[in-house]
Amino acid sequence: MNKVEIYRGWCKKCGICIAFCPEAVLEADEALYPTVKDPEKCNGCRLCEMRCPDFAIVVYRNEESYPETDSSPGK
């Protein structure tokens, strides 16, 4: 499964990632930050990452390559 990581500290809540995700994986939370609604649907196209003006999204194409960590920031 692909993994989407969002750095909220850099996110300015412009909504581009949510609006243009072809699989509607993302949605806005109460504070309007993007959040992963449906991780299974992510096809790993990386358009959200590439269109993020603030470099605040990373897409890992499959779970194996996702770095193991105790405190991944901003999830």
Partner 1 sequence: MRETTHLVHKYLRSSKRFPHIWCAGCGIGIFMQSLIRVIDQKEYSKDDVVLISGIGCSGRLPVYVDFNTLHTTHGRALTFATGIKLAKPRLKVIAIMGDGDAIAIGGNHFIHAARRNVEIASFVINNQVYGMTGGQCSPTTPDGTITASSPYGNLEPDFNICRLAEAAGATFVGRATVYHTRLLEQLIGKAFEKKGFAMVEVVSQCVTYPGRTFGPDPAVAMMKWQRDNSITVAQASKLSEAERQGKIEIGILVDKERPTYHEEYQKLLRKKPKV
Site residues, partner 1 (CB under 8 A):
5, 9-16, 19-20, 47, 49-56, 58, 60, 67, 69, 71-72
CB-nearer residue toward partner 1: 43 or 72: 72
The two tokens of residue 27 are: 């949605």
The two tokens of residue 22 are: 């072809």
Place of tokens 């990373």: 58
Distance between CA 75 and CA 64 in Å, rounded?
A: 18
In the complex, what is the shortest distance from the CB of residue 22 to partner 1, in angstroms, rounded to a whole number?
A: 12
CB-nearer residue toward partner 1: 16 or 36: 16
CB-nearer residue toward partner 1: 8 or 41: 8
In the complex, what is the shortest distance from the CB of residue 17 to partner 1, in angstroms, rounded to a whole number?
A: 10
Phi, psi of 34, rounded to the nearest 5 degrees: -70, 145
